Amino acid sequence: MAMFLLANGLNVEANAAVSLALFHTLFNALAAVLVLPFIPQLAKLVARLFRSVEEDTAGSRHLDPTLVNTPT
C-alpha cells in the first residue's frame, strides 16, 4: 500500500526486492516514531536494571565526618 505509493513517488520499479526494502524501511521508521515518546522511561529502566557493583557501593568512605563542622 504505502510501499507502492512510495515506489511510484520515487519513480522506482516496484519489484519484490524494492518492495521488501521499502517495507523494511517504513517498518523501522514507524517503530522509531512510536518509541520516541518512551525514551525517558526506557532510559530509567535500563539504568535501574544494569547497575554496576561500584555504583551500588559508592559512598564517601574516606571523608571525615567532622569536616562538616569545620568552618572554612
Q: What is the DSSP letter of 37?
A: G
12-54 pLDDT, tens per residue? Answer: 776 778 778 888 988 999 999 999 999 999 999 998 888 777 7
Residue with cell 517504513: 26
The structural domains of the chain, with segments of one domain joined by +, span 2-58
Supply the pTM of this predicted model: 0.52
